[in-house]
Structure 1
Amino acid sequence: MPGNSMISKQSFDVQTANILREMIVTGSLEAGSRLTEAKLTEQFHVSRGTIRAALQKLNNEGLVSQVPYTGWHVIALDAQDAWELHNLRRVLDGLAARLTAERIEPEGAKKLEDAYQKLCGLCDSGDPRDIADADFELHKLIVALSGHRRLQEHYTLTEQQIRVFIASCDSEFSDYKNIGKRHGPLIKAILSGDADTAERLAKEHNATQGDELISSLRQLETQ
């Protein structure tokens, strides 16, 4: 396990959860794969209690599940999961975009523009995983700029599942260079203070990819 030898056990829990989370979200750990405490203990050179605590944290985030007598498994989005996350995200992102457009200030506008330009830059030459991360961070920033504390709390409850959903949607969109450009009208509406347009575009954003992902999963489930 990387890190200073003086780091507390609690920090090891957090570090282990952070590493596993990134492996799940980026696909390094495949959806549905089995996780054993013994193997993870050996892999990360930490105690089984640390592994168990990390897995429990990820379970609370909806990224892993514990199946009686078989152990832990990485989340595998089914059509119902994708449908729920798709609709929940539309509502949360729509409200966040409206509120942010209504209260956007120069400092927030600069952060938003920087995040947008970072995404566009990655689309020109970046790795699909980095693009998905930048995509998520841009939407998360819009939520943060909304100034709505309870909205941020609800977003946090499902944000890791939303990261998985965004990565899955982006995988349905083979032309990665256009992912950044598709955010352009939404960012423009927010920066101009056009709340109605910002909310509409946020709700419509990724609708096609979300629908395609749900359709693909439904087809797989009927095979």
Structure 2
Amino acid sequence: MEQQLFTNRLQDLKSQSLSRAVEEQLEQMILSGELLPGERINESYLSNTLKISRAPIREACRQLAQYGMVENRVGKGSYVRQVNLEEALELYELRGVLDALAAEKASQNASSEGIAGLGLLVEQMRSFAARHESTEYFATNLKFHHQIVQLAGSAALIDLYEVVFKKLSLFRQKTLSQPDRLQRSLSQHEGIFAAIQNRDAQLGSQLARSHVEEAKGVLLATKV
């Protein structure tokens, strides 16, 4: 009996690990634009491509639905969620508060190694911006903000941020496609990094909040 329980538990762990890997792959496909808002997630194609059953794919879709990145429609399958403008603006407001808090706490709590890692991401962003590689810049931009939240050292903040950030990411890449937006964005990230590096919590918080507010303004301008 105990052996059977152990075997069942082991199978559960294997299934969870596979589902998590599929979840990360789907998330990357969504954030990179390979899967577009409103697009149906083809379970059959993924199953054949990844050489796995549909069960971990469905579990991954359920997890992503909790983050608001996927919408599961009864009898119709799973679709990349579409975020409307009103919801995006509400998410930007939440994001501004969370980013400001994260930068403040990171300025106070980040280790020297953590700050050095953040600096490497800024260097990568400079390189991508110089070559006008917006997709690569966007991906590194995501890592930059996630790293600041990690450096803040608050598990509760990480949990809240993940939900808001992932839903908003469905909308955000559009703002980086505007003329000169990459260089402007880079300049702002450099300022945030410098404030954290100098342990200036107040300035870091202000710059992080302003960065989000400007991104929200760019979004509104593109919708007028």
Instruction: Give TM-score, length-normalised by structure 1.
Output: 0.82
> What root-mean-square deviation, in Å, do the aligned CA atoms of Structure 1 and Structure 2 show?
2.4
What is the deviation of 1:199? 1.0
The equivalent residue for 2:19 is: 13
Residue 190 (1) aligns with residue 190 (2):
no
Helix, strand or coil: the match of 1:134? helix
CA distance in 1, matches of 2:58, 2:114: 39
Q: Which has the higher helix share?
A: 2
Is contact 2:132–2:182 with CA below 8 Å preserved after alignment? no
Is contact 1:133–1:163 with CA below 8 Å preserved after alignment? no
The equivalent residue for 2:186 is: 180
CA distance in 1, matches of 2:112, 2:53: 48
CA distance in 2, matches of 1:51, 1:104: 36
The equivalent residue for 1:3 is: none
CA distance in 2, matches of 1:166, 1:207: 13
The equivalent residue for 2:99 is: 93
Q: Paired residues, what number?
A: 212
Aligned with 2:63 (options 52, 57, 61): 57
Unaligned runs of 5+ in 2: 1-12
CA distance in 2, matches of 1:199, 1:165: 23
Is contact 1:120–1:181 with CA below 8 Å preserved after alignment? no
Change (3 A) 1:108 1:34: closer
**Percentage of identical aligned residues:** 25
Aligned with 1:102 (options 95, 102, 108): 108
The equivalent residue for 1:73 is: 79
Letter in 2 for 1:63: M
Aligned with 2:38 (options 16, 32, 40): 32
- Where do 1:151-170 residues align within 5 Å? 151-170=157-176
What is the deviation of 1:64? 0.8
CA distance in 1, matches of 2:59, 2:222: 34
Helix, strand or coil: the match of 1:34? coil
Structure 1 stretch displaced more, 178-187 or 52-61: 178-187
The equivalent residue for 2:146 is: 140
CA distance in 2, matches of 1:106, 1:9: 38
Letter in 2 for 1:199: S
CA distance in 1, matches of 2:192, 2:123: 13
Q: Deviations over 1:160-204 (max 9, x none)?
A: 224334423323455424432221222222222222221111101
CA distance in 1, matches of 2:43, 2:177: 30
Helix, strand or coil: the match of 2:35? coil
Q: Deviations over 1:104-125 (max 9, x none)?
A: 4433332222222222122122
Helix, strand or coil: the match of 2:36? coil
Is contact 2:82–2:170 with CA below 8 Å preserved after alignment? no
Letter in 2 for 1:24: I
Letter in 2 for 1:25: L
CA distance in 2, matches of 1:11, 1:96: 29
Change (3 A) 1:28 1:104: closer
What is the deviation of 1:87? 0.8
Helix, strand or coil: the match of 1:121? helix
